[in-house]
Amino acid sequence: MRYDLLWIAAVALLLPAACAPAPAGPPAMPVVVETATRGTFEVAGSPTPVRVPSQFPMTATPVLTPDPYLESRKRMVDTQIRARGVADARVLVAMETVPRHEFVPSDMVDQAYNDYPLPIGYGQTISQPYIVAVMTELLHLKATEKVLEIGTGSGYQAAVLAELTDQMYSIEIIPELAQRSRALLDRLGYRNVTSEEGDGYWGWQEHAPFDAIIVTCAPDHVPQPLLEQLADGGRLVIPVGPPGGYQSLWIITRQGSEYRNVNWGGVAFVPLKRGE
C-alpha cells in the first residue's frame, strides 16, 4: 500500500507538466516548394522567399550537411580570383557557391580547386577558375538577362552563369558531354539551364536574341550567326585564334547594326568543334 501511494503521488506531480502547453520555441523546418527560379523557395506562412545554397540537393525538406570543400572554394576565390582583380561581388559569390569538384573527373577531385584547367575527356577541358570568373564578369550580367553558352563541356561555366541569371541556354556538340553535363546539372538542381546537343557555331536561333553570349572554345574567326543573335546592347565574350596558336579574348558589344570590339588579352582554349 505504501508503494502504491508513492506511485500515485509521483504521477500526480507529473500530470500538470505533461498536460501543459508546450513552451514556445523555434518552429519546425517548414515544407518548401521550389519555384521557377533556381535555388529559391517559398515557405508556407512566410512572405519572404528562402534561398537554399546550390550545393544542397533540391528536396522538399533540405538536409543541411557539412560541405567539406567550402573552405577550398573560399581559398580559391580569395587567392586565385579576387587577388587578381575580379571585383564583381555577384561573380565572387557564384564562384564560391558552385561545387567545382562535382564537375571534374572522380580521380581529379583533389585538384578541383587548383589554379589550372583539367581534362574532362574527349579532348576537352574544364577551364581554369580564374578564366571562368573573368569571362563571367566581362558579361556584366543582370538577373533578368538571357544568356547563351557555346560549349557546355563539364557544365561548370553554365552552373556559374545560372547563379547570376534565370535564363541560361547552353549548346554542346559532343554527345557524351552533352548528356553527362545535363544529368549533372539536373542532379545539382540547375533547372534554369536549358541545354541541347548541337553545333554551337550556328548559335540557337530559336531562343534569340540573347543579352549575352559566351564561347568557351576558340574558333579561328567570330561566327556571324552569334553576332546576329545578340540583342542590341548585348555582349559576346569569345576567344579567337588558331588551334595551338596565339588566341585573344574579345569582348564584342552590339550597338544597333554596329559592333564595338575590345581585346582583353591572350588566352588558350581548345578549338571550337564543328559538325560533320
pTM for the model: 0.77
Residue appearing with cell numbers 586565385: 80
Residue 187: which domain range?
Answer: 70-267
CATH number at residue 149: 3.40.50.150
**CA angle (72 as vertex; 50, 142 as ends), nearest 5:** 45
Q: For residues 22-53, b (16+ Cβ closer than 10 Å) or e, as one string?
A: eeeeeeeeeebebeeebbebeeeeeeeeeebe
Q: What is the DSSP string of 100-122?
A: GGGGS-GGGGGGTTSSS-EEEET
Angle at 258 between CA 255 and CA 264, to 5 degrees: 80
Residue 121 included in any domain: yes
pLDDT value of position 64? 60
Longest dimension (CA), the chain: 102
Which position among 127, 154, 170, 181 bears the catalytic label? 127
The answer to whether residue 102 is domain-embedded is yes
List the chain pLDDT tens, one digit each, 276 residues.
444 444 444 444 444 443 334 444 443 333 333 333 344 333 334 443 434 444 434 444 445 667 899 999 999 999 999 999 999 999 999 999 999 999 999 999 999 999 999 999 999 999 999 999 999 999 999 999 999 999 999 999 999 999 999 999 999 999 999 999 999 999 999 999 999 999 999 999 999 999 999 999 999 999 999 999 999 999 999 999 998 788 999 999 999 999 999 999 999 999 999 886
Are 221 and 240 within 8 A, CB to CB?
Answer: yes
Answer yes or no: is 38 within a domain.
no
How much is the pLDDT for 69? 94
Per the domain annotation, does 247 fall within a domain? yes
In a domain, 261, yes or no: yes
The number of folded domains in the chain is: 1
223/201 Cα distance (integer angstroms): 6
CA of residue 198 relative to chain centroid, distance: 21
Q: Which three cell numbers stand for residue 146?
A: 538571357
Q: CA 135 → CA 55, 78, 252, distances in Å? A: 22, 17, 12
Tell whether 244 is covered by a domain.
yes
**Is residue 91 domain-resident?**
yes
Verify whether residue 127 is a known catalytic residue: yes
Residue 27 DSSP symbol:
P
CA angle 136/137/143 to nearest 5° reads 80
* CA angle (141 as vertex; 241, 246 as ends), nearest 5: 10
Contact 214, 148 (CB under 8 A): yes
Residue 260 lies in a domain: yes
